[in-house]
Amino acid sequence: MNVFRSDLAGTAVPLLHLESNQVSADLYFERSVSASRRLAAFRRNAATWELLLLLAAADGSDETGVYQTVDKVQSIALGSSALLKFIREQTDAGNLHLEESEHKRSKRLIRLDPALMEELSKQLSERNRVLM
């Protein structure tokens, strides 16, 4: 990534200063997430973070099963078997909950722990507040 552009005189001008408020907000957000043991577990790579955001967006109202949720993750940082292992680990840790579907008994639904959902919501709200 080129963080410099050349002006007409040929000197390098940094582009990063243009959005320093956004960079500062992102840096604050990253540090806040890494300080949270529960959120940091998901922030280790793009696929697990995307999984967290997909589950947060569904907010427990989705009837999508575990395997369908894994298939929705588009980040290629983890394969599906590694992502399923991560889900199992986070279920054991209490960050995720598996529930039976009301429509199909063999289908398991994946839900965020309410405390984790609240923590994520607070972090995202604070990040958005700083950006405004």
Given this model, what pLDDT does residue 87 score?
A: 97
What pLDDT is recorded for position 104?
A: 78
pLDDT on residue 50: 96
CA-to-CA distance for 131 and 91, rounded, in angstroms? 33
Identify whether the C-beta of residue 36 lies closer than 8 Å to the C-beta of residue 46: no
Q: Which of 16, 51, 53, 17 is nearest to 127 (CA)?
A: 53
Amino acid at 74: Q
Going residue by residue through the chain, which has 132 residues, state the pLDDT in tens, using 9 for 90 and above: 444 444 444 444 454 454 677 888 888 889 999 999 999 999 999 999 999 999 999 987 778 889 999 999 999 889 999 999 999 999 999 999 999 878 777 788 999 999 999 999 999 998 888 777
Under DSSP, the state recorded for 78 is S
pLDDT at 18: 45
Give CA 54 to chain center in angstroms.
8
Domains of the chain: 10-131 (1.10.10)
Nearest residue to 109 (alpha-carbon basis) of 65, 58, 69, 57: 65
Task: Please classify residue 10 by burial: count the beta carbons closer than 10 Å to its beta carbon, then call 0-12 exposed, 13-18 middle and 19+ buried.
Answer: exposed
pLDDT value of position 19: 63
